[in-house]
Amino acid sequence: MPGNPLTDPSWATDVTEQITTFVGAVRDKTTNNAIKVVRGVVFGLLGLILGLVAIALSLIILTRSLQSLLDIWLAWDKSVYLSYFVIGGILTLLGMFLMTKRHSDA
């Protein structure tokens, strides 16, 4: 605790250090935690958006490459429809598999 400002020559330095220490402690407990939370939310949303874009682009590339592969043996119209059925069937089977792995609460 700082002493009397009239008799203590280091009174201003001591008070300044105490204020700085107090403000630093408050900042560590509030602002730093808030920054961590906001960073987590921002990076989480960014990862989610990029993941969804990657899934969409992967499905587009897979469908288009299957169409080109089937175009070797079939007409273009038939290869397009068949590629939709194949990709749709794969995604349906994947969805059915994931539904069996879910946990029912009831």
Determine the structural domain holding residue 88 and report its residue range: 11-101
Mean pLDDT for 55-74 is 95
Whether residue 79 is contained in a domain is answered as yes
User: How many structural domains does the chain have?
Assistant: 1
The pLDDT score that the predictor gives to residue 26 is: 86
Whether residue 3 is contained in a domain is answered as no
The pLDDT score that the predictor gives to residue 29 is: 84
Q: How far apart are CA 29 and CA 9, in angstroms?
A: 32
Whether residue 90 is contained in a domain is answered as yes
Whether residue 23 is contained in a domain is answered as yes
Find how far residue 30's CA is from the centre of its chain: 23
Whether residue 41 is contained in a domain is answered as yes
Whether residue 106 is contained in a domain is answered as no
The band of 105, judged by pLDDT with boundaries at 50, 70 and 90, is low
Q: Are 3 and 11 in contact (CB under 8 A)?
A: yes
Residues 14, 20, 25, 30, Cα dihedral to 10°: 160
Mean pLDDT for 89-96 is 96
For the cut 70, the answer to whether the pLDDT of residue 106 exceeds it is no
Find how far residue 63's CA is from the centre of its chain: 27
Whether residue 5 is contained in a domain is answered as no
Whether residue 6 is contained in a domain is answered as no
